[in-house]
Amino acid sequence: MQEELARRLATIEGIFDTGLLEGRGEKEAEVACYYEQSRWAYKIFHSNEGAMHLALSPDGVFDKQGYLGQAREVERLIGPDTESVLELATGNGFNLRYLAERHPHTSFTGLDLVATHVAAARAKADGLGNARFLEGDFHRLPFDAETFDVLFVVESLCHATDLDTALQEAHRVLRPGGVFVVIDGWRTARFAELPAEARRAATATEQAMSVAQPLVIDDWLDAVAERGFEVVEERDLTQQVLPTVRRLERIARVVFGHPRATRAAQRVLPERFLMNGIAVYLMQLTLAGGVHTYRLVVLRR
């Protein structure tokens, strides 16, 4: 794996100025810019239905129905007494629409940093009376204390520029006994012991996706405990997302297999649109090699 990571890093550096990755995701505006410029990449190469996360494939074979996997994990925690649910970084509203359609007596709110995401979510959810979508930042939630029974966030809390503040806000708006579901990627506990090439590939992957402050999973769990959450479930889903990552990686291999065309594309395509290719070109190796981990964590206030 080390030799292959070194080869892929060299390929990337022969095409892109990787120095441009430095500092990506350090400010909310930069994260919003990443998603603005990448939205067509998500639509064309990822999910035409509006999903902006990896599909879960328990049987090891990619199926687009797997994009509903994260919403179904959240649905397990929605009971007959659940009055209100909040999704942070709701994107195009893919997860929230699914849940709102299936639970008409529960109120669902989606919050997202990107105005175009909110507009798309509202348009797609037209006619759903129990779903609303707002523009906002999960570091500064525009809700009263103890408003929601369930919070969830998929592949986006990694963008927190101030994790302590984000967790404090989540804790504030969650009702006592409520649950906060986080599905995301982290560095593994053995990250610091890995070879330099593996750590360099991980950093390039994170920066390409505008993740400025990546954490080791154990450090993250310590942080949530300090903010008043109890971990009630933690499950490793890494093997379930690998089929999606491999599918995207095949596309990236085509891109990096034609460096001259890719250099030409840099002159006409948004920079962050192309930077997604860096992430998927490396991610299959960082996930399969134990550099990164993809997990579901359920927290209770």
- Please report, for the domain that includes residue 250, its CATH number: 3.40.50.150
Sign of CA dihedral 208, 213, 218, 222: negative
Give the pLDDT confidence of 120-153 residue by residue, as tens digits. Answer: 999 999 989 999 999 999 999 999 999 999 999 9
pLDDT at site 100: 98
Residue 24 has pLDDT above 80, yes or no: no
- Cβ–Cβ under 8 Å, residues 291 and 194: yes
- Cβ–Cβ under 8 Å, residues 284 and 249: yes
Domain of residue 124 covers 2-300
- CA neighbor of 127 nearest in space, from 95, 94, 104: 104
pTM: 0.95
Residue 127 CB neighbours (<10 A): 6
Alpha helices in the chain, H assignment, sequence order: 2-15, 28-41, 69-75, 94-102, 115-124, 163-173, 196-208, 217-226, 238-256, 259-265, 271-288
Rounded Cα distance between 251 and 253, Å, is 5
Q: Using alpha carbons only, what angle is made at residue 257 by residues 204 and 54, rounded to the nearest 5 degrees?
A: 50
Give the pLDDT confidence of 33-85 residue by residue, as tens digits. Answer: 889 888 888 888 888 899 999 999 999 999 999 999 999 999 999 999 999 99
Rounded Cα distance between 196 and 199, Å, is 5
Structurally, how many domains does the chain consist of? 1
- CA neighbor of 34 nearest in space, from 95, 139, 114, 93: 114
pLDDT at site 141: 98
Q: pLDDT above 90 covers what percent of the chain?
A: 76
Sign of CA dihedral 184, 134, 71, 301: positive
Residue range 221-247: mean pLDDT, rounded: 97
